[in-house]
Amino acid sequence: MNQYKIIPYLSKGFLGLFLLALQSCITDYQGTIGGSSEVLVVNGLLTDEYKKQVVQLSRSYTFENAGPRYETGAAVTVSGSDGSLHAFYETPNGVYKSVTPFAAQAGVSYQLEITSVTGEAYASSPMSLPAPTEIQALKAVATTNAQGKPGISIQLDGSGPVSASRFRYDFTEHWKIVAPYWSPLDIVVLSEGQSTFNLAIIERETEEQVCYGTARPKEVLLTSTAALSSNEVKNFPIRFISKEDYILQHRYSIGVKQFGVSEQTYSYYETLKSLSASAENVFSEDQPGFLQGNMYALEDPEEKVAGFFEVSTVSEKRLFINYDDYFPGEDKPDYVVNCIPSAPTTDGPLGSRELLNVIYNNSVRYFGINIDRIAPGGTFLVVPANCGDCTTLGSNIKPDFWID
């Protein structure tokens, strides 16, 4: 029996679709999927935001393969019941973007249509835009979690009309990273021979002191007010951050999107969440191994197609957090790694010089001269790369929305 790994590929604002866990949490599936090792995986999200809409296409793959195969050369369109037709063009990593920006309109149903480079045709069920919803408040509360651990709870209040009772949430979080042992100088090997070598101390050419880390949710975030007397979401928990988490050390920001979703979309994500929550039982006899979405093959109704084409309304808010505002006077979280300078020697013949070897493998950054003769007594002080170069943990490009 072959083993298959199904990988989600996420477009902006879109959670993984065909998977038993999300994002970096990948669950292996043992079994066959419709007799094919390359099931088409469709991630599509159409919203009422005026922008270039995105569809992402890939294929499932076997353990023996090096990685996923993005679906290239496909013809992708979204058609509306109002006669509109939106063509998509291909960009790297199997991402297809609409040629022109557009927004989903109320009262119009939309259908995603895909033709592969080899001629196989696929389509989604027609999907309509649900009623709009709104995030009323996005807030941070100093509290403790269910395990009694202190931290910050990111909570949301939202609402919608009577017809909007199902909500899905997505977020992107960013945090400021400051390398604590950064130096404006770097050390490089100019040459090395059997008995000689040349090192140089040079100025750094790129920003490596201040960076920004980012992450996405690892679970499906859903709530419904269908059984309640009002369509108001109160104090919905989006994210809990331990007060000891280094992402709170300097400045933190989270941008949250609230999607008003249809009953069909909600049901799909609810099943997905249930499967990922029971991932430890993924090999049990009642584990289906395949989550049917709203995509199907036009020519072969027995062919399995993974993923979902979602049409949703969106409301968005952003929040910034400073640690001192929630834990005044308390020590800030420790850095992500323990930063201890060392002084590797340059002793030995070619290939065995400790300092040169750690420079070659890019595991350290220059910090200074070993004035205090730190053991083992090399001339130069170096620190782990994470301590002196923030680009090992994030991007040195400041986000457009960032406010210091």
The stretch 346-371 carries a mean pLDDT of 93
Q: Region 395-401: what's the mean pLDDT?
A: 97
pLDDT per residue as tens digits for the range 330-354: 999 999 999 999 999 999 889 899 9
Residues with Cβ within 8 Å of 42's Cβ and at least 6 positions away in sequence, in order, are 17, 55, 56, 57, 112, 114, 122, 124, 293, 295, 305, 306, 307, 308, 309
Within 8 A by CB and 6+ apart from 59, the residues are 38, 39, 40, 41, 68, 69, 70, 71
What element of type H or E holds 306?
strand 305-321
pLDDT value at 9 more than 80: no
226-277 pLDDT, tens digit per residue, is 877 677 899 999 999 999 999 999 999 999 999 999 999 999 999 888 877 6
Domain boundaries, the chain: 3-130+263-312
Supply the pLDDT for residue 230: 76
Per-residue pLDDT, 67? 63
Residue 289's pLDDT is what? 58
pLDDT given for residue 246 in this prediction:
96
88 has a pLDDT exceeding 80: yes
> Which of 16-20, 38-42, 381-385 shows the lowest mean pLDDT across its residues?
16-20
- Is it the case that residue 12 has pLDDT exceeding 60? no
Per-residue b or e along 23-40, where b marks 16 or more CB atoms closer than 10 Å to that residue's CB: beebbebeeebeeebbbb
The average pLDDT across 132-152 equals 94
pLDDT of amino acid 319:
97
DSSP-derived secondary structure letter, 72: -
Q: For the segment 114-132, what is each residue's pLDDT rounded down to a tens digit? A: 999 999 999 999 999 999 9
* Structure-token pair, residue 244: 């000891």
CA 152 to CA 77: how far, in whole Å? 43
Which is more confidently placed, 12 or 156?
156
> Rounded mean pLDDT of 10-22?
30
- Residues 110/126, Cβ–Cβ less than 8 Å: yes
Q: Is the pLDDT of residue 11 over 50?
A: no
By percentage, how much of the chain surpasses pLDDT 90?
70
DSSP symbol at 59: E
Q: Per-residue DSSP letters for 226-286?
A: TTSSS-EEEEEEEEEEETT-GGGSS-EEEEEEEEE--HHHHHHHHHHHHHHHTGGGTTSTT
Strands (E), 125-196: 127-128, 134-144, 150-159, 166-178, 185-192
Please state, rounded to an integer, the average pLDDT across all residues of the chain: 85
For the stretch 269-326, pLDDT in tens is 998 888 776 544 333 333 345 678 999 999 998 898 989 999 999 999 999 999 999 9
Asked if 309 and 57 touch (Cβ cutoff 8 Å), the reply is no
Whole-number pLDDT of residue 65? 58
148 Cβ partners below 8 Å, 6+ apart? Answer: none
